Structure 1
């Protein structure tokens, strides 16, 4: 029988009865947001631990008992247990921040395993942080007696600042990559960024966030307005392509002035809050974008509302195809100051990328090469140059570019971007793609996870990371991200729609796959025609498949001649490659045997 052990503050640890009462309290609370299988997961691991079977809490056991997986379950290829554990960690954190702030017993699931930890609320540290720290001493298999407290780490006091309230949101970001076995941020250097790594701010579009207005005389709305202002500033600064000016900071001495102002207001009536935001062009006062966000504070935590609204505003305004960049991308405006030529290269990259126009590719590439020479310490220009080189590899049948060794150039430029600024999501996106097409999939996913964790509001990052997850075999997680990118991205939707077609095809949903493929602009890329061709073949629509095959033979004949190499370049797992090739075979495409493939995986 396990003996009682005191916490560091002298208090005994929770008894079995206290833990069971606490789990019942959590599961009955409306603030514990978890699906039925998540609740079963939590109940199972708590009861197994209380019954002295903590040593048996492995992914394999949980998958069989909770998720009804059979004996062939492979945790390496099916991350369901890791993903669900991450969701339950976040649900517990939210519960203790909202409804359980006064609870005496704290239940967490330390990272790195599935054995829960049981603590009293008093003690040094914070329960919101316990889930991310190292697990404490293992529970004894002999724990069965009711009076004996459970030997665990001491928990935290309930002194939570606004910063710690934001922890669950950040953990949602990190949790999506929790199934990767290597550390999430192993691609990021830990040394401080040198001063020379940041280019002059003058070449960036400048936006000032004005203080959000509140209803006079209502302290609650004033607090919400201040909180939302702070959240918006924080979310906007994750985008490296703009310069964000905080309200009241350095405006008097700034002779150049911002090109844009983000304004907003808060209205509060009982428990209903309306948040209003608009982007104004300073030169003439024109409102370029506006939106309202309503929330019922009886249903949602205020801090969650503020975070969600700030993320939506940042995505709409500052992502690569967002409101700030749309007039520049169309060529209708120039920044008022700074190095226009260098900044124009970045803006023209997105205009080219929206249509993948072969006529613009060489000009954009040459412009970015000049920009990196003019401003060699600006990370974003190196990242965009890497992506432009990489287009010559993954879209070669569309662009027909002829740069020598484009993949090697892309890798070098991406590494340079990340070395200059390890927190630049665009640089990590470039490194992810460069590594993926260099067949270093693990390194690619590490870089993608890091990019997404830094800025999940950037739909270009989220969508590309979703693609790499899906094509490396993590279809469910990757396809969810691609779907999210479509709902938020005003850029090249066809690119993501074909991604959704591929997701549906891999699930065997050929009708949905065809609908997605036909929604996309098939002129965008011969690879899109190839996806539709496989879908039509699998559906037995041979007449339509023959028309697609004729188009490819006319417009991209080398694609079909090198079909195995091209498919293997994009789909990492051999079983996914063969599934895709089966659709092409059914459409009448001659597929060479594996032995005849050059450079096969």
Structure 2
């Protein structure tokens, strides 16, 4: 007889509970507190006969603290954590649990665990191992499972588990294959949960070394291990880089010669204070190219949230667009026709915002897409650079035609089809939809991009801008503020968003301050924002200076001001407020 997924003939709820405790207390079970709660929750619910309720929605609420608005399609946290948990269970049963009698696995396709027993073994004689995706167990999208003992006879089970070394080698092969795939994956989701695409070998590669514990005690050791795991989990969401845990080598066994960095760090506990030091090292010459300290009080959020927060800050600082990994060694790499060169060219262009830099990056990306048509990230960047010809037309001296916008949108849609969870592809689709007068589609894509990688400051900042300009100022301005606080984007780019936020809430003095902190030469539209603010403040002399600059440097903007404002501000009342400031500055808007 079976109950709650257990073969009652050979095991009991008590034995499964003891096995759960054994796993959670093992040093070889290396996941942070959240993953431990995940495993404990699904095992307990299954033992209580509630396996049918183990859906992404219920797990997200019970384990991750999500509210009733949780959408598994937009927020993949449960799916990602389940993948990590499956891999860590495999590791446990290859190491400390190689002789355990009770085997706990979570088959793909659901979140309900399977409990199996090494056939013929007594409770004190644990001698074999079974893989998580063995043919004797099954799972579906509804979380329903059957055990091996329910589906195969005792004689068949004896053959499957004899000799135990066969399954040990088989499970080991799964780990080896997963590790090999990790070296090739294009970042975004853990390798076990997605197919790789071409071009990943040409991206900046970073090795994450385990953070050291410089304080005594098991707590510091656990936090250092958890910090390392959390940093890896957050870094792999950045599609512009490749994250590895060992030196990548070519088919001849030689170390790769492409740019390679190592992320190193340490953890120190002083009372309730947690301090982490991180540094990025260039492997070629051991030069430290970036380093920083991070401090937090664990009493405020608790250990798991503090640990995750610091890991997010470190991952963002290292891998954010326009950050340190896209500024180092640019001169030595630029000029080659590979994906890395094109990515660097793109970020260099966005920082300079010149016609020449635009053409160099565009040409490089066009060639790269021909070589690597299945690379979602390269296609997304090509979409963005075409879109810039539409939205930055007065700076790049291009024509903002419907054909240009249509091409950018087609490329964005193609990038999303290639990888539906690529944050950069979803960012491109968000912007294309926004400028195509589809704010609903833009915000849907933006929400998906942000859910895919909330630590990507470029995604967060652009999503915040689109939310704000669509009329959701409170929500959008919060994201813009966070992006500015993390040094997002090209210098001065998101500061103009902060100026608009202050302007729309009526704080025109703060709006002027933010506007002057922005890069006014980045885009003539930035000057237009300052012009409206100055007009509202009644500073006509200073407004006249900005108006003269626009007439002299961007004359093509003058007859199209109303049209350009309408493209960016979705609500009529926001458009009126903005245009009112321009007219107060002395310019009659056509």
Question: Corresponding residue for 2:207?
Answer: 208
Is the 2:235–2:319 contact (alpha carbons within 8 Å) kept by the matching residues of 1?
Answer: yes
Is the 2:337–2:367 contact (alpha carbons within 8 Å) kept by the matching residues of 1?
Answer: no
Question: Corresponding residue for 2:413?
Answer: 415
Matched position secondary structure for 2:262? strand
Number of equivalences:
436
2:384 equivalent to 1:387:
yes
2:551 equivalent to 1:553:
yes
Q: Per-residue displacement from partner, 1:549-587 (whole Å, max 9, x unpaired)?
A: 121111222212112111111111111111111111111
Q: Distance in 1 between matches of 2:212 and 2:468?
A: 43
Distance 1:273 1:587, change over 3 A: closer
Shift of 1:358: 1.9
Q: How does 1:310-389 map to 2 (within 5 A)?
A: 310-328=311-329, 331-334=330-333, 340-389=337-386
Question: Corresponding residue for 1:400?
Answer: 397
Greater RCO (Cα-Cα under 8 Å, separation 6 or more): 1
Is the 2:321–2:488 contact (alpha carbons within 8 Å) kept by the matching residues of 1?
Answer: no
Q: Distance in 1 between matches of 2:217 and 2:585?
A: 67
Question: Corresponding residue for 2:570?
Answer: 572
CA RMSD of superposed structures (Å): 3.6
Shift of 1:472: 0.3
Question: Corresponding residue for 2:438?
Answer: 440
Q: How does 1:51-200 map to 2 (within 5 A)?
A: 124=50, 132-133=57-58, 167-168=64-65, 171=66, 184=74, 198-200=197-199
Matched position secondary structure for 2:263? strand
Q: Distance in 2 between matches of 1:231 and 1:395?
A: 37
Matched position secondary structure for 1:299? helix
Q: Distance in 2 between matches of 1:126 and 1:323?
A: 47
Distance 1:379 1:514, change over 3 A: same
Is the 2:74–2:452 contact (alpha carbons within 8 Å) kept by the matching residues of 1?
Answer: no
Q: How does 1:374-523 map to 2 (within 5 A)?
A: 374-402=371-399, 405-489=403-487, 491-523=489-521
Question: Corresponding residue for 1:296?
Answer: 297
Shift of 1:498: 1.0
Matched position secondary structure for 1:293? strand
Question: Corresponding residue for 2:560?
Answer: 562
TM-score (norm 2): 0.67
Question: Corresponding residue for 1:256?
Answer: 256
Is the 2:235–2:315 contact (alpha carbons within 8 Å) kept by the matching residues of 1?
Answer: yes
Shift of 1:489: 2.1
TM-score (norm 1): 0.66
Q: Per-residue displacement from partner, 1:181-216 (whole Å, max 9, x unpaired)?
A: x98479xxx999998860143211111111112248
Q: Which runs of 5+ in 2 are unaligned?
A: 5-33, 42-46, 77-108, 110-140, 142-188
Is the 2:437–2:567 contact (alpha carbons within 8 Å) kept by the matching residues of 1?
Answer: yes
Q: Which runs of 5+ in 1 are unaligned?
A: 1-8, 10-93, 103-120, 134-155, 157-162, 593-601
Q: Distance in 2 between matches of 1:123 and 1:324?
A: 50
Question: Corresponding residue for 1:597?
Answer: none
Question: Corresponding residue for 1:221?
Answer: 220
Question: Corresponding residue for 1:280?
Answer: 281
Matched position secondary structure for 1:274? strand
Q: Distance in 1 between matches of 2:581 and 2:373?
A: 47
Is the 1:435–1:443 contact (alpha carbons within 8 Å) kept by the matching residues of 2?
Answer: yes
Structure 2 counterpart of 1:528, from 503, 526, 529: 526
Q: Distance in 2 between matches of 1:247 and 1:183?
A: 32
Is the 2:204–2:240 contact (alpha carbons within 8 Å) kept by the matching residues of 1?
Answer: yes
Q: Distance in 1 between matches of 2:237 and 2:363?
A: 27
Matched position secondary structure for 2:341? helix
Matched position secondary structure for 1:495? coil
Is the 1:185–1:446 contact (alpha carbons within 8 Å) kept by the matching residues of 2?
Answer: no
Is the 2:543–2:585 contact (alpha carbons within 8 Å) kept by the matching residues of 1?
Answer: yes
